[in-house]
Amino acid sequence: MFDLPALQNAFIMLMDWKVLLVIPIGLLYSIIVGAIPGFTTSMAITTLLPLTYVLDPLSAIVILASAYGGAIYGGSITAILLHTPGTPASAATAIEGYAMTQKGEASRALGLATTASSIGGAFSYLFVFFVMVPISWFALRFSSPELFAVAVFGITILAVIRGSSLAKGIAAGFFGFLLGLVGMTAYGQTRATFGRVELIEGFPTVTVLIGLLAFSQIFTMLEQKYIVQTGREFEPNFRDMVKASAETFKDWFNLIRSSLIGTFVGLMPAAGSSIASFISYNEASRNSKVPFGNGNPAGIIASEAANNASEGGAMATMLSLGIPGSPSSAIIMGALLIHGIRPGPKLFIPKDYDPYSGMTFVYAIILTQILAAILTWPMGLTISKWGSRIIKIETKVLAPLIAFLCVVGSFASRSFIFDASIMVVFGLIGFVFSKYGYPPVAIVLGIILGPIADGELMRSAMLFFGNPWMIFTRPIVIVLFSITAAALLFTAFGELRKKKKPAEESSDD
Amino acid sequence: MEKEKKRIDLGELIVPGIIIATMAVFLYQSIGIDRPEDNLRLVWIVVGVLALSLAVILFSIFRGEETDGKKKTPFRDTSLLKRQGLLYGLVAAYIFLMNILGFIVSSTVMLPLMFLASGVKKYRLIFAISLLLPVVTYILFRRFFNILLPEGMIETCLVDNVLYRKWF
């Protein structure tokens, strides 16, 4: 199972001070950059890329991989404090995290998020460490039909993100789904772009996310003096954060389940950390006795453990198969190619003259990333403690500053003024929708899942010569659709039970 | 949870209205698509979402929805709405101006207005933030992130300035 001499050599490689130094540098930089709205994980990694030219191959990949995990985690800080997810992967965290902040429990929420992120990241790399070869074989079985089934399964999450009624949640989700269809199809046709070049790739997810969740929130913010609801004093507290860390371990089942979901979703090419966090959030909600949406700690644990765990999965697919599972791993793969290292099955074959080859190199990467995930905890808590002071500022000062960041962030993602305009429009949509009980997060989910479901279905149809129903000849698709049906039935029965209970209680009275 | 019957609130029609309008755009656009399978699928999706929005209208407007007893009608506080509207308009104007004046000038002009619109009266704070934030952000983005924010006269001078070149 293990190549012990390679593992031994990997430990020796880690004794290099340069390798150990780049981990905290990558983490610190990416946590801060990841917290800025509009700055995606891939942007955090890209901006570090020039630095890697002067580094040796191991240090280069270590700093980029550390930045990958750090940026995903960093997005959760502003998601919790300001309902402004730094990255799309933290959109689900914003739901429960911000509700906890409003209740004066920001320190607790940050502690939970930091610990779950740290554990999720470490878990995924440990998992990959043990079962790298069989899981890459499994990931290779996933092609268009299976990815379509995963996207369909993701739609069941709408039952959880429901707003004031289930119908409104579903309507908002399908509205997002529809918006996700804008742009070029798998057949090369353009849909609803009105001739705008900027819309050929569809609505940019980051911009839409900033508009719907962050920009719309500043108008809601103005309704009260401070983010923390009146009457609740907030003081950033390190002790509360550490206490919350211990609380995370008490919810161990949720933590492990979410980390596993994250790792497996990360393994699938093109699935990504945002889908991982939504699926995991959905599963946690289905298994929770306390309703979600009002600041449930289990939601934060699920979302954060899964999005950080997806990193390990994506890296495993990239290293073992040479297929980047996400845009971020594609950039890391590019950096490896610059250094003359080609990820893929041949990476595991040692070359006598090259220390950066074979299992030694792979083990060294995995070990450094476990170390990086562990380091996320102290560094994350320290940064969060200082960062959380922001919610002591009055909302009337915060609102224009967040508006400024939203404009800059939406422009920065693609350098189009058009994107900033889209952000403003989606900000208004998000504000109006949330006022009438339609959850804006459901629109985000639709926009993420829409193009995946649509594109993969079209590609499946091409695969089966125009007959998309042939996808049901594939065993994994049948299993995934069965899980979707079971999840829907489970939700429907849960709804019925909830409706029956008050009726019985009132008849007892 | 208490259930309440309520009268038709015209405000409740806003969101289904937005959804239906979007679908109308999609239907209009789908006419121009050449491939019939694309067209058919899109029409089905649109019809599905239309049915869902109608269901929402039927359920949440005519039948009444579950409330926790503290249901509020949105957009009733007109003074707050004015403040929100003003801030929204200023942000939209900021983006429009950014394209013409460049990032630094438009930010320096619009940030103070945005602060005043949201009710900040600490003029020194407004002055300091509005002057420093755009310049620091611009340099940070250009130097560290290699992202060019919209350029106007000031940005060009800043980039061409000898001191800037020497320092950054």
Q: What is the pTM of this model?
A: 0.75
Largest CA distance in chain B: 71
pLDDT at B68: 46
Q: Which domain holds residue B94?
A: 78-167
Task: Read off the pLDDT band of A188 (50, 70, 90).
Answer: confident
Average of pLDDT values for B119-140?
Answer: 90
In chain A, the percentage of residues whose pLDDT exceeds 70 is: 85
Q: Are residues B103 and B151 in the same domain?
A: yes
Q: Which two tokens stand for residue A208?
A: 């839409």
- Residue B51 touches partner A, C-beta closer than 8 Å: no
- Specify the number of domains making up chain B: 2
Is residue B107 within 8 Å of B115, Cβ to Cβ? no
pLDDT at A211: 87
Q: Are residues B84 and B138 in the same domain?
A: yes
Q: Are residues B62 and B25 in the same domain?
A: yes
Residue B30 domain-assigned (yes or no): yes
Average of pLDDT values for A200-211?
Answer: 84
Q: Residues near A417 by Cβ (< 8 Å), separated by ≥ 6?
A: A411, B95, B98, B99, B150
Average of pLDDT values for A66-80?
Answer: 86
H helix or E strand, kind and range, residue A447? helix A440-463
Task: Read off the pLDDT band of B27 (50, 70, 90).
Answer: low
Q: Of A33-42, A429-438, B103-112, where does the model show the most confidence?
A: B103-112
Residue B73 domain-assigned (yes or no): no
Q: Are residues B62 and B84 in the same domain?
A: no
Task: Read off the pLDDT band of A355 (50, 70, 90).
Answer: low
Cβ within 8 Å of A, B 81-110? 83-84, 87-88, 91-92, 94-95, 98-99, 107
CA contacts within 13 A on the Cβ side of B51: 6
Alpha-carbon gap, residue A250 to A500, rounded angstroms: 32
* B chain contacts of residue A403, beta-carbon cutoff 8 Å: 87, 91, 114
Whether A168 and B56 lie within 8 Å, measured CB to CB:
yes
Q: Give the number of A-B residue pairs with CB atoms closer than 8 Å.
A: 159
Q: Are residues B91 and B57 in the same domain?
A: no
Q: Which residue among B35, B83, B107 places its CB closest to the CB of A189? A: B35
Among the candidates B13, B46, B67, a domain finishes at B67
Among the candidates B44, B67, B90, a domain finishes at B67
Assess whether pLDDT exceeds 70 at residue A278: yes
Nearest CA in chain B to A467: B37
pLDDT at B69: 46
Nearest CA in chain B to A223: B80
Q: Are residues B31 and B100 in the same domain?
A: no
Whether A177 and B49 lie within 8 Å, measured CB to CB:
yes
Q: Are residues B59 and B86 in the same domain?
A: no
Residue B72 domain-assigned (yes or no): no
Q: Are residues B59 and B102 in the same domain?
A: no
Residue B122 domain-assigned (yes or no): yes
Assess whether pLDDT exceeds 80 at residue A244: yes
Residue B25 domain-assigned (yes or no): yes
Query: What CA–CA distances, in Å, run from A498 to A157, A332, A475, A503?
Result: 18, 48, 35, 9
Q: Which of A249, A279, A245, A252 is nearest to A263 (CA)?
A: A279
Is residue A58 within 8 Å of A18, Cβ to Cβ? no
In chain A, the percentage of residues whose pLDDT exceeds 90 is: 9
The per-residue pLDDT for range A437-485, each reduced to its tens digit, is 888 888 887 887 788 788 888 888 888 877 777 888 888 889 888 888 8
* B chain contacts of residue A435, beta-carbon cutoff 8 Å: 74-75
Residue B120 domain-assigned (yes or no): yes
Residue B82 domain-assigned (yes or no): yes
Q: Are residues B12 and B54 in the same domain?
A: yes
Q: Distance (Å) from the C-alpha of residue A47 to the closest C-alpha of chain B? A: 5
Q: Are residues B130 and B100 in the same domain?
A: yes
Q: Where are the alpha helices (DSSP H) in A251-357?
A: 252-267, 273-286, 297-321, 327-338
Q: Are residues B126 and B102 in the same domain?
A: yes
The secondary structure of A149-212, three-state, reads HHHHHHHHHHHCCCCCCHHHHHHHHHHHHHHCCCEECCCCCEECCCCCHHHCCCCCHHHHHHHH
Q: Are residues B96 and B162 in the same domain?
A: yes
* B chain contacts of residue A437, beta-carbon cutoff 8 Å: 60, 65
Average of pLDDT values for A103-123?
Answer: 90
H helix or E strand, kind and range, residue A91? helix A91-102
ipTM for the complex? 0.79
The per-residue pLDDT for range A214-232, each reduced to its tens digit, is 888 888 888 878 776 654 5
Q: Which residue among B37, B49, B67 places its CB closest to the CB of A178? A: B49
pLDDT at A220: 83
pLDDT at A498: 64
> For chain A, what is the mean pLDDT?
81
Among the candidates B21, B46, B67, a domain finishes at B67
Residue B139 domain-assigned (yes or no): yes
Q: Which residue among B15, B66, B147 places its CB closest to the CB of A436? A: B15
pLDDT at A302: 92
The sign of the dihedral angle between the CA atoms of B59, A215, A423, A329 is negative
Task: Read off the pLDDT band of B1 (50, 70, 90).
Answer: very low
The per-residue pLDDT for range B101-126, each reduced to its tens digit, is 889 999 999 999 999 998 888 899 99
- The residues with which B3 forms a beta bridge, in sequence order, are B66
The per-residue pLDDT for range A126-162, each reduced to its tens digit, is 888 887 666 656 666 777 888 788 778 777 777 666 6
* B chain contacts of residue A433, beta-carbon cutoff 8 Å: 15, 18
pLDDT at B95: 93
The per-residue pLDDT for range B52-92, each reduced to its tens digit, is 666 666 665 555 554 444 455 666 778 888 888 999 999 99
